[in-house]
Structure 1
Amino acid sequence: MTDLPDDAARWDPRWTGELVVDLDAIAANTAAIAARVAPAAVMAVVKADAYGHGLLPAARAALAGGATWLGVAQLGEALALRAGGVQERVLAWLWAPGQDLDAAVAAGVDLSASSAGGVGELAAAARRAGTRARVHLEVDTGMARGGATAEDWPGVVRSALDARAEGHLELVAAWSHLACADVPGDPSVERQRLALARAVEVAEGLGARFALRHLANSAAVLTDPATHLDLVRPGIVLYGLSPGTAVGTSAQLGLRPAMALRTRLALVKDVEAGQGVSYGHTYTTPTATRLGLVPLGYADGVPRAASGAGPVAVAGGRTTVAGRVCMDQFVVDLGGLPGADRAQPGDLVELFGDGALGGPTADDWAHAAGTIGYEVVARVSGRLPRRYTGTAGVPPDPDQPEQPDQPEQQHDHHDEQEDRR
């Protein structure tokens, strides 16, 4: 029998479901990673709305857990952190010509450059902002995505040195990204580590000095200490999910999944054997049974690719999606579940959570959909409200006096503007 959390029916009644994010789990996962990689520092990656967990609350929780840097892909994400009062170091690594670099430079956001032209744009933005741009130079060590090739690298370094000499640029780091770290022992990881080391040697031969080198993502943090260098960039592990099946499950890795996706049955009905269910009748009831209507669909982020396979905790047990996932809803066959006879509209349904009580996890949905846990949590729609539990990183309420002698109380934290950015 699968139990469900006691607090699971507290969502905003305007919506058919909710995301529950455990801030203490994010902080605990971050603390475990920080202890694992010390003395390397931790850059908590909070791009893509913190993998769907909420940018500002998740960032604050990760900082409370011991991260000293934050990493994002886009300039807007970095500026949202600054607007939210985050003053710690933030790196934004993905931008295109024509974007507003001036605002990011003026806000003290660290920025990445992979070409001489990119360095020039950052230097120009620094001139306009009246300050120095903090720059991380990215080298392509074998992923063939971002970063300067070995042939272009010396020119990128020289352009950065020229801009530094003119007072427009501060060289902070050399960095790269691993392609196959989720396959433990893959020889490309060591090749990439050595390629970054060679790039640093070339840069130093030209007169560059870097305060930091960073390479390791979540998988490398867990499997290859040689890649930790000065700074690591964990992402998915901070939210309690595994970076890959070959690395291990969340439970095996000692991680606490921080997100739960919940709703409640909108309708329960009894049908005869042989009834086709949902679009295309890809599922037909094998016997007379009871069906439940779950009011979430692919518009809410439920993977359509998990039609017929996505796991659900309901009616005291686990079942799977019956037939196709629709835009706003899907059906489950309750037949054979412990609580099927008592099932009624309003009963709790959990699509995924931390799995501690036997329910499915985001990794289970990833397996069912033929994808990865990253996509499952990051794709959950903004139309679902988030409810935050735990206290990690939650700013104190200025209207409430401190009570240091009282036991710490869990409370919810919900900022609609943050949730729907």
Structure 2
Amino acid sequence: MRSQSDNPRACAVVDLDAVRESVAALVARAGNAATMAVVKADGYGHGMLACARAALDAGATWLGVAVVEEALALRAAGLTVPVFAWLAAPGEPLADAVAADIDLSASAPWALEEIAAAARLVGRTARVHIKADTGLNRAGATEADWPSLCEAAAALTAEDVIDVAGVWSHFAFADSPGHPTVRAQIGRFTDAVTIAEKTGLRPQVRHLANSAATLVSPDAHFDLVRPGISVYGLSPGPDVGSPADFGLRPAMTLTARLALTKRVPAGSGVSYAHRYVTTAETTLALVPLGYADGVPRAAGNTAEVLLAGHRRRIAGTVCMDQFVVDAGDDLVRAGDEVILFGPGDRGEPTAQDWADALGTINYEIVTRVGARVPRGHLNPTVAQGRPS
């Protein structure tokens, strides 16, 4: 596969049609609920702006990000749909966010106070989603603190300083659909909404479902779902199912071009600390990607790549900028393509294969692909008035 990048060394090729297909499948799964495509962390490493536009093409009507800077970048790119940013520390530039009509999250009184101060500064009512901790024990107000957070939000709403646009929470075990916490969190979330309404709040959207819950827990959809990893065609976990089970198609293919090949004798130690030693005369192939580009150092002697039609395990230690593959007696040359991972259509490893080999999740594999690796986007289109 030739990328659309001008860099022949390496490229993360992202098929935007795959993003559209996956988002269309998620929108269909969401039923009557609206769909927020989560494009944080540069679109999980796939390119935030291009993927945001592709998601909107396919029927998403909201965009979700973690931090304000990401939300402001979406606005600067001309995207006018609702954008929700949920992670902030005290002192962040919330006035810029309020002025840009970005929905913000509040889990504690300090957040409400800073959002209200920002709203007063810019002379605009701020849209806020208050978050309940229903069991993840990360962000969100605890059961004990929730009533007071709702009351504080109601008071600011009465002043027309904020508009509580949403009530939300997040799952701990949605990628294990049979886990008892899933049902328990849905119940706690419903109770939290009831308490909010008793204080006089009338949220426009209630949202709890991540990728896994969007796919397999329809009773968690409420008014809005927030798929993340599945937007990019990956399953949120093996217990949920494979991408093909849900009409998802992995969007990213990470490729490189060999920088060097050479014959070495049996008994040759390879890369730092000689953690791989050749057992026969063989051809070594140098791949110009390393842990500075997001290839985990732990992938040495563990993860596989596709080279010359065969899967081959990385030979020895992954270095900062490069790693080595043992090509045996196959004819390989500098400039030949090596595929680290992709959708698997040509027999290459998938991001899930890498995750399984390294004992992690596919989210980490795709999001850690570094900025030094250019993104090439296939099948761009026009959405929101601007090209991908």
Say if 1:313 and 1:359, in contact at 8 Å, map to a contact too: yes
Shift of 1:266: 0.7
Say if 1:241 and 1:255, in contact at 8 Å, map to a contact too: yes
Shift of 1:109: 0.1
> 2:380 is matched with which residue?
391
CA distance in 1, matches of 2:226, 2:204: 16
> 1:229 is matched with which residue?
222
Q: How does 1:246-257 map to 2 (within 5 A)?
A: 246-257=239-250
2:201 to 196, 203, 208: 208
> 1:26 is matched with which residue?
19
Say if 1:52 and 1:377, in contact at 8 Å, map to a contact too: yes
SS in 1 for 2:119: helix
CA distance in 1, matches of 2:21, 2:56: 11
1:295 matched to 2:284? The reply is no
Shift of 1:252: 3.4
Amino acid in structure 2 at the alignment position of 1:125 = A
Structure 2 gaps, min length 5: none
Cα deviation per residue 1:232-256 (whole Å; 9 max; x = unaligned)? 0000001011111111222333311
Say if 2:80 and 2:384, in contact at 8 Å, map to a contact too: no
Greater shift in the superposed pair: 320-329 or 204-213: 204-213
Cα deviation per residue 1:204-255 (whole Å; 9 max; x = unaligned)? 1121111111000001111211111110000000101111111122233331
SS in 2 for 1:319: strand
CA distance in 1, matches of 2:377, 2:344: 18
Structure 1 gaps, min length 5: 399-412, 414-421
CA distance in 1, matches of 2:19, 2:91: 35
Greater shift in the superposed pair: 111-120 or 62-71: 111-120
> 1:48 is matched with which residue?
41
1:141 to 128, 134, 138: 134
Say if 2:275 and 2:317, in contact at 8 Å, map to a contact too: yes
1:363 matched to 2:352? The reply is yes
Cα deviation per residue 1:181-210 (whole Å; 9 max; x = unaligned)? 111211101111110110111111121111
1:72 matched to 2:72? The reply is no
Amino acid in structure 2 at the alignment position of 1:359 = E
Say if 2:78 and 2:384, in contact at 8 Å, map to a contact too: no
Task: Give the percent of matched residue pairs that are identical in Structure 1 and Structure 2.
Answer: 55
Cα deviation per residue 1:115-174 (whole Å; 9 max; x = unaligned)? 122111111110111010001000000110000011111111111111111111111111
SS in 1 for 2:328: coil
> 1:350 is matched with which residue?
339
> 2:6 is matched with which residue?
12
CA distance in 1, matches of 2:5, 2:81: 32
2:81 to 88, 111, 126: 88
CA distance in 1, matches of 2:160, 2:5: 53
Cα deviation per residue 1:287-317 (whole Å; 9 max; x = unaligned)? 2111101110000101111111111111121
Amino acid in structure 2 at the alignment position of 1:59 = A
1:127 matched to 2:123? The reply is no
Cα deviation per residue 1:314-348 (whole Å; 9 max; x = unaligned)? 11211110011110000001116xxx1x2111111
**RMSD across aligned positions (CA):** 1.5
Amino acid in structure 1 at the alignment position of 2:196 = A
Say if 1:218 and 1:234, in contact at 8 Å, map to a contact too: yes
SS in 1 for 2:53: helix
Cα deviation per residue 1:360-411 (whole Å; 9 max; x = unaligned)? 111111112221110111111101111110134467789xxxxxxxxxxxxx
CA distance in 2, matches of 1:387, 1:144: 38
1:166 to 159, 163, 182: 159
CA distance in 1, matches of 2:382, 2:358: 33
Shift of 1:93: 0.3
Amino acid in structure 2 at the alignment position of 1:17 = A
Say if 1:45 and 1:71, in contact at 8 Å, map to a contact too: yes
1:325 to 313, 318, 330: 318
2:110 to 85, 108, 117: 117
> 2:306 is matched with which residue?
313
1:233/1:396 Cα in 2 relative to 1: closer, same or farther (>3 Å)? closer
> 1:264 is matched with which residue?
257
Say if 2:78 and 2:386, in contact at 8 Å, map to a contact too: no
Shift of 1:12: 1.8
CA distance in 2, matches of 1:128, 1:396: 31
CA distance in 1, matches of 2:244, 2:279: 35
Say if 2:33 and 2:222, in contact at 8 Å, map to a contact too: yes
1:74/1:87 Cα in 2 relative to 1: closer, same or farther (>3 Å)? same
Greater shift in the superposed pair: 242-251 or 288-297: 242-251
Q: Across the two proteins, how many residue pairs are aligned to each other?
A: 388
CA distance in 2, matches of 1:391, 1:23: 6
CA distance in 2, matches of 1:395, 1:283: 51
SS in 2 for 1:194: helix
Normalization by structure 1: what TM-score? 0.90
1:274 matched to 2:267? The reply is yes
Say if 1:62 and 1:393, in contact at 8 Å, map to a contact too: no
Say if 1:258 and 1:353, in contact at 8 Å, map to a contact too: yes
1:184 matched to 2:177? The reply is yes
Greater shift in the superposed pair: 102-111 or 16-25: 16-25
